[in-house]
Copies of this chain bind each other. A is one copy, B any other.
Amino acid sequence: MKISADILRGYTDVILLRRLAEADSYGYRLNKQIAEISEGNLELKEATLYTAFRRLEDAGLIQAYWGDEATGARRRYYTLTPAGQQRLLEEAANWKETCRILEKLIIG
């Protein structure tokens, strides 16, 4: 079915926050996870992904640090800040409510 860019727009940030609530992680891995969880319906484009990290970091919702891999390509890990955890709670509640409203508007 594939989730469209217009729909994605509203949810990129929450989705990333939710993933990071589970565990610190890095871009490439997060994207693979998201693709898996979404059953292939959502795979962020790299530009979208890294733009989002920048945005979330500027907003103080996540914080980055370089992994200390002895081998392999360097990885930039992200961790949720307290503000990020707080925001995730709000956005998750928000999503449920939005779903309820849209159900009325779209289904009837």
Interface residues of A (CB under 8 A from B): 1, 3-4, 6-11, 14-15, 18, 22, 34, 37-39, 41-42, 91-92, 94-99, 101-102, 104-108
Contact = CB atoms under 8 A, between A and B. Distances in A.
Contacts of A6: 9-10
A37 B11 CA distance: 23
B15 A4 contact: no
Task: Report copies per complex.
Answer: 2
Contact of A102 (B95, B106, B108): B95
Contact of A1 (B15, B18, B41, B94): B94
A41 B34 CA distance: 29
A101 B41 contact: yes
A107 B6 CA distance: 21
Contacts of A41: 97-98, 101
A23 to B, nearest CB: 13
A41 B104 CA distance: 12
Contact of A11 (B1, B14, B102): B102
